[in-house]
Each structure stands twice: as C-alpha cells, then as structure tokens.
Homo-oligomer: A and B are copies of this chain.
Amino acid sequence: MKILITSGGTSEAIDRVRSITNHATGHLGKIVAETFLKAGHQVTLVTTKTAVKPSPTSGLVIHEITNVDSLKTCLEELVPQHQVLIHSMAVSDYTPVYMTGLEEAEQAEHLSDLLTRSNTETKISSKDDYQVLFLKKTPKVISLVKDWNPAIQLIGFKLLVDVSKDQLFAVARQSLDKNKADYIVANDLLEIGPNYHHAYLVSKDDAVLAKTKEEIAELILTSVQKGE
C-alpha cells in the first residue's frame, strides 16, 4: 500500500528569528515509517527539518514542511495519491497575527482592532517590559483529509496532558466523528517516558492499549492491513 505518514511538530513564525513550536521529536513517526517499510509498503513521510528521520531507503520518500500552511499545501497534493494517512505530527493550533508592547495594546479602544494590524519589522523590537502577542486559530488540516480523498484510511493522533482515561477516550471519539477518522491514537504526555509510550488505538467500538512506540507502530500496521 501507499502510506502517508506525518511526524515532528510545526512551527509558526513570530518574526524572522522567533517562532512558536509544537514539541515533537519525530521518534514515533520514524518508528511507524520503519515498521511499514519493513512490511513492504511504500512510505511518504512528511516531516520537519529538526525531526528524527528513518535512514534513506528504497520505498521511502521524505518531504519537509515548516508551518501549518505548508503542511496543508503538501498534504492537499499527497493525500489523493495515498491509501492511508497516519497523521502523528504535532500541528500548531494558533499562528501569530501581531505582536506589540503592552502600552500600545492598552491604548487600543477594542483589543480586536489590533487583529487587523501586522508587524512590518523583520525582528520585533525588544524594548518593552511586556509584550502582547495576538494569535489566530490555524485551519484544522485533519478535518480536510477526507474531502481530499474520501477513500483514504485516516489515523489521527490526540495528545492530552494529565487527563482521565474516560476523558482521553471521549476526546478521541469526538475526533473520530468530527474528522471521519478510522482510528485515533490517544495518549497522555504523562504516560510518555524515555522507555515507554502508553497509547490507545481508539476506534468507534474499541480501544487497544500499546505500551511502547514499537507496539504502537505494530498495532497501527495490523489495523491498517485489516482495513485494506
């Protein structure tokens, strides 16, 4: 099969020297890619410059993206060419609109007026003691995937922090519905350590636990091959 995998985390630029980054090493995506390659599938990996990547090998193509916008453009082209998307990338929820000193923000009659401004300087001045950064929501790329290719098997990811298993499953099932995903890999940051990574592969009626990145990859492989 032709498998599309995303890994790493997007970064949204504040100016030319600073950005807001979603932490993600790319380790899980790398292991998932290696697992599918070993099983004889063709893998396209969409990732970032700083993410760890599999070694070059036949059957593997790598694309590098930076921010949500470049991710969207890249996936819009690639999704129709693949049968499966495993979307493990940590995607920025918000992107910077305007940054200014606290004083300017306080002088605005309505804060929302500032949303129409933009920084013209290439490196925002660092004179003010306090600054205010306005951010807007990014497009939810995962929600567009089934529009681009209704037949693709979609495996989404949901990372929460310090929630109950019930909450984790509830959020995962919401995501299943909203994005027409086939599976959501649901995990809690507190259950990820150097040698373990607890995650549930959540489908409409089921939730299967995996305890390491390797187990998560095997679980996704088995489920994807079953759904073929």
Contacts and interface: CB of A to CB of B under 8 A. Distances in A.
B94 A126 contact: yes
Interface in A6-37: 11, 14-23
Interface string A114-143: 010000001100101111111111000000
A20 B16 contact: no
A105 interface: yes
A206 interface: no
Given A112-B106, A134-B132, A189-B122, A11 B21 contact: yes
Nearest to A135: B131
A93 B21 contact: no
A90 interface: yes
B106 A111 contact: yes
Nearest to A138: B126
A50 interface: yes
A126 B19 contact: no
A135 B160 CA distance: 24
A147 interface: no
A226 interface: no
A137 B15 CA distance: 17
Contacts of A17: 22-23, 90, 159, 161, 189
Interface of A: 11, 14-23, 50, 90, 92-94, 97, 102, 105-106, 110-112, 115, 122-123, 126, 128-137, 159-162, 189
11 contacts: A17-B161, A17-B189, A18-B23, A50-B50, A94-B126, A106-B110, A123-B160, A128-B137, A129-B137, A132-B132, A132-B135
Given A102-B115, A131-B136, A132-B133, 9 more contacts: A16-B189, A20-B21, A106-B112, A123-B159, A129-B137, A130-B134, A130-B135, A132-B132, A133-B135
